[in-house]
Structure 1
Amino acid sequence: MKSRSESSHRQDQPLTPTLSPEGRGSKSNRPRLIITADDFGLHQAVNEAVEHGYRDGVLRAASLMVAAPAVADAVARAKQNPGLAVGLHLVLADGRAILPPQRIPDLVDAHGMFNSDMVRNGFRFFFLPHVRKQLADEIRAQFEAFAATGLQLDHVNAHKHFHLHPTILSMMLSIGRDYGMHAIRLPSEPGMGPWLRPWLALMRWRMKEAGIRYNDHVFGLRHSGSMDEAVMLDILKQLPPGLSEVYLHPASHGHITESMADYRHADELAALLSPRVRETIAERYVLCDGFSDPAVSAA
């Protein structure tokens, strides 16, 4: 079975790292790596960066916000670059819902926007049945909107990693199976606080029981918004065995939203295009075309 980039060797063919002579013999033993851009569809500058990072850099996957302002442009670019692995970036905080406010009045304001109070909302999701019903409806609507794009669903994750919440994860698992979901990001970065370990252990167990593929490690939480070349190179020096996902928030220029006012989007795009980053990956890792790449199962 061919990987995405091998099976779509057309105009969209990205620059693929070339293995050094020293690395060729041990390729099968190398750690696997997925490099993903989040917030695809949020802004045209994000979409431009995703396409540029895929065609000319090491980016291989993107997570789509289906209710975001530039989603139509993002879908068009994804279809022009069929080797790009696209997944669903569920938005349940700090963003726009896809259902109208009258359908989910306990989740959004009059303009259809989620707030950013994830702690309060987390309690409401857990304890209030009528809120859970609206939440399930919105999650299903976002899966349905992704399916309507005609894109293959490579993975699912949640904005602000809200799928750490057990109620959201349960809904993702039950609803996602209706839409062919087979992979979810595990937001487990080495060195994270011990208070998260029980939640992550529960996530691992539930995804394993559901037959869902997931990464062993993630990188991008600690340096969110500042994943420049130096940070990327530092991360790439220390990837542990197994499957790692590195995620970024690239854009072709600066200020995108108030909640990311201090993010260095252009520097993150530059990291994806960096020859030094490409060479380091080629020497040490197997770069996978998203979670659907057959090489992922070898991690």
Structure 2
Amino acid sequence: FFALPQVRRQLAMEIRAQFEAFHATGLRLDHVNAHKHMHLHPTVARAVIEIGRDYGMIAVRLPSEPVEPLRAAFPDEHYSAPLYRPWIDWLRRRLHSAGLFVNDNFFGLAWTGGMVEGRLLRLLPQLPQGLSEIYFHPATARSAALSAAMPGYRHEEELAALLSPAAKSLVASLGIRLGGYSDFATGTATK
């Protein structure tokens, strides 16, 4: 499928259209990712790297969730390394060789839709060195469309975790710096 030249051309056109649509918003491009992490596929990754340069792409999210911090935060739960680890390692090398900035760690896959305050407070002290993204799906309220697209997600609780005074205090006491990918790529992130 991905080996067919016409499919690769269609893929490139779709990726360019996505970059164009974002560019039309006038927002600053912080980092690039793909729905369901499709950018881990080598064909998609190559196209994103090539086309993204035209739109000022400087950083790409890697869904690299190490299990050790999860096990330390929740020793009674079972976590295993993802089967797609080789693709993450391959893409990390490709992105570095292309001069692009990437995160070291990514948290929230194991708890997709459930990054609530209790989990966040237990995860923060276990964060490893390097740049970690913590993945949330916050919302102020549920809708039928949101519930249908993300059944079982705890959107309001995830928003509450992000706004939690306890989490803010813990972030400060641990000396965790907050910012977007581009803040760290350019060294402008602050505590």
TM-score, normalised relative to structure 2: 0.85
Query: Percent identity between the aligned chains?
Result: 55
Instruction: Give the alignment partner of residue 211 of structure 1, picking from 78, 93, 99.
Output: 99
Give the residue type in structure 2 aligned to 1:223: W
Q: Which amino acid in the other structure matches residue 287 of structure 1?
A: R
State the partner residue of 1:147.
23
Residue 182 of structure 1 corresponds to 58
Alignment of 1:162-173 (within 5 A): 162-173=38-49
Q: Say whether the 8 Å CA contact 1:288–1:296 is kept in structure 2.
A: no
Q: How many residues align?
A: 175
**SS at the partner of 1:293?**
helix
CA distance 1:285–1:160, shift in 2 (3 Å)? farther
* Residue segments in structure 2 that go unaligned for 5+ positions in a row: 68-79
The equivalent position to 1:195 in structure 2, one of 83, 89, 97, is: 83
Evaluate the alpha carbon distance shift between residue 291 and residue 271 of structure 1 in structure 2; reply closer, same or farther with a 3 A threshold. Answer: same
RMSD (Å), alpha carbons: 1.9
Q: Residue 227 of structure 1 contacts residue 271 of structure 1 at CA under 8 Å; is this kept in 2?
A: yes
8 A contact 1:288–1:295 mirrored in 2: no
Equivalent position to 1:265, from 122, 142, 155: 155
Provide runs of 4+ in structure 1 moved above 6 Å.
none
Equivalence for 2:8: 132
SS of residue matched to 1:245: strand
Report which of the two has the higher share of strand: 1
- Change in Cα spacing, 1:203 to 1:294, as seen in structure 2 (3 Å) is closer
Deviates more, 1:285-294 or 1:177-186: 285-294
TM-score (norm 1): 0.55
**Match in the other structure for 2:182:** 292
The unaligned stretches of length 5 or more in structure 1 are 1-123
Q: Separation in 2 of the partners of 1:295 and 1:283?
A: 24
Deviations 1:65-94 (A, max 9, x none): xxxxxxxxxxxxxxxxxxxxxxxxxxxxxx
Question: What code does the residue aligned with 1:197 have?
Answer: R
